[in-house]
Amino acid sequence: MLLMMKVFALLQIFLVALFPAAHALRRDQFPPEFVFGASTSAYQVEGAANEDGRKPSIWDTFAHATNVNENVGDGDVACDHYHKYKEDVQLMADMGLEGYRFSISWSRLIPDGRGRVNPKGLQYYNNLINELISHGIQPHVTLLHLDLPQKLEDEYEGCLSRRLVEDFTAYADVCFREFGDRVKHWTTVNEANAYALFGYGVGMSAPHRCSPSLFNCSKGNSSTEPYLAAHHILLAHASAARLYRKKYQAMQQGIIGLNIVCFGYLPKTNSPDDLRAAQRARDFNIGWVSIFMFAGQRTPHNSSLKDRSRVKLLQKYIGRLVDALRSELNVKGYFVWSFMDVFELVSGFEISYGLYYVDINDPNLRRQPKLSAEWYSNFLKGKPMDSKIKEIEKTILSHDTQLHNAT
């Protein structure tokens, strides 16, 4: 008995160490208008790639190219969010999510990239938006998440042509007109800098262009094409944002912006050389895109449901958000990537970022909450953290056992 008590005491100490600041984080530390949500993107979760009039995007082509993606698979089914969106929205509501950031598949809504609107695609996104709102969840919409219609890539090489600006603006116009009465938060392009660098500089993502002499690409120019692509992406963003502000914003009362992926770089020392090196790294990854907007000019593998490292990461992020608000920085929301395991565009389902585990070997693509989902839900609902740790661990252990038995 004494040994068991010692083990129990050690377990308590371990759990307190595991969640060192859990008791210090509360939803009520943030203003009511601050939005906590989670995110996905169309190609990574929707599936239904060949259903209801949808045509291929550049990611369909990239994912099906066995010479670049043979061990990853594709998003033809993904998480089947297209058919299971009601179930997924209910999971979001049960968790207490306040917002859901998702993207619209351009090639589902306008299959040829321009012209005719697909009524089935229009119906799907209307249904999804209405379902979110009926559960008290704000829809936050991204217009382009790396999945340009393949038709436009074939016709004029997509982002390498200035013709992108006109077609993207027309597509955005349809979205603002059809969904803007309910959608108040718009992102034009997701990770614009990564889109240009990875798609046109190193060929790691669609449309898989880079200098053949440098990387495993059949065509491209890593010295020039990333800059051309970024230039046209930024012009497309500016054109769509201008359209929204002139034609829709006064009536719809929404906001619009661009998303870039950011990495932090700190100098090893305060020496001038190290300071300059850190700034060069920031400029190379972020500054070359963000300067035009502002100046006019990854998470550990979560194969287990007990993703303690993700919980620690959430605690640190949200703790820094508290610090930012106390410093009177204009931070308006935080969206976890991602709501559920998604088909990662380079690594498929091998890397798991989701709050919810998706069993891709189950015909029903069963969803199960990870420890991070339970923690985030308790945080959002204002439940005491310390008193819930044992219960959460017990629940996740039970889920892990079920998962092991099922596989």
On whether the CB atoms of residues 349 and 301 are closer than 8 A, the answer is no
> Hunting for tokens 């259903």 — which residue is that?
51
The answer to whether 355 and 378 are in contact (CB under 8 A) is no
Partner residues linked to 261 by β-bridges: none
What does the pLDDT read at residue 104? 99
pLDDT digits (tens, 9 = 90+) for 150-193: 999 999 999 999 999 999 999 999 999 999 999 999 999 999 99
User: What average pLDDT does the chain have?
Assistant: 85
pLDDT value, residue 305:
72
pLDDT band at 66 (very low <50, low <70, confident <90, very high): low
Residue 10 pLDDT: 36
Q: In what order do the strands lie in the sheet with 333-337?
A: 255-257, 185-189, 138-144, 99-103, 35-39, 333-337
Q: Note the pLDDT tens digit of each residue in 283-311.
A: 888 887 877 776 665 333 344 677 788 88
pLDDT reading at 388 higher than 70: no
Average of per-residue pLDDT across 365-392: 77
At residue 126, the 3 state secondary structure works out as: helix
Nearest-angstrom CA–CA distance, 333 and 257: 14
Contact 191, 260 (CB under 8 A): yes
Only one residue has tokens 């310390």, namely 386
> What percentage of residues in the chain have a pLDDT greater than 70?
83
Domains of the chain by range and CATH?
33-261+298-406 (3.20.20.80)
What does the alpha-carbon distance between residue 403 and residue 381 come to, in Å, rounded to a whole number? 27
pLDDT at 71 over 70: no
Q: Are 41 and 102 in contact (CB under 8 A)?
A: yes
- The pLDDT confidence band at residue 374, using thresholds 50, 70 and 90, is confident
pLDDT of residue 106: 99
Whether pLDDT at 354 is above 90: no
Q: Which residues contact 27 (CB under 8 A, 6 or more apart)?
A: 36, 379, 380, 381, 382
C-alpha 405: how far from chain center: 31
3-state secondary structure of 229: helix
Q: pLDDT per residue over 5-28, tens digit each?
A: 333 333 333 333 444 444 578 998
Coil, strand or helix: which one is 189?
Answer: strand
Residue range 339-357: average pLDDT? 77
Q: Which position has the higher pLDDT, 331 or 163?
A: 163
pLDDT of 330 strictly over 80: yes
Q: Answer whether residue 75 shows pLDDT above 50.
A: yes
> Please, which residues have CB within 8 angstroms of residue 396's CB and are 6 or more apart in sequence?
305, 306, 370, 371, 374
Q: Please tell me the predicted confidence (pLDDT) of residue 397.
A: 52
Question: What is the distance between the alpha carbons of residues 108 and 149, in angstroms, rounded to a whole number?
Answer: 9
pLDDT-based confidence at 394, cuts 50/70/90?
A: low
Mean pLDDT score, 84-96: 97
Q: Could you report the per-residue pLDDT of 195-244, keeping only the tens digit for each?
A: 999 999 999 999 999 999 877 888 999 999 999 999 999 999 999 999 99
CA distance 211 to 213: 5
pLDDT of residue 393: 55
Q: How far is it, in rounded angstroms, from Cα 19 to Cα 5?
A: 21
| Cα 109 from Cα 107, distance rounded (Å) | 6
Residues 6+ apart with CB under 8 A from 355: 38, 95, 336, 338, 339, 340, 369, 370, 372, 373, 376
Q: How confident is the model at residue 262 (pLDDT cuts 50, 70, 90)?
A: confident
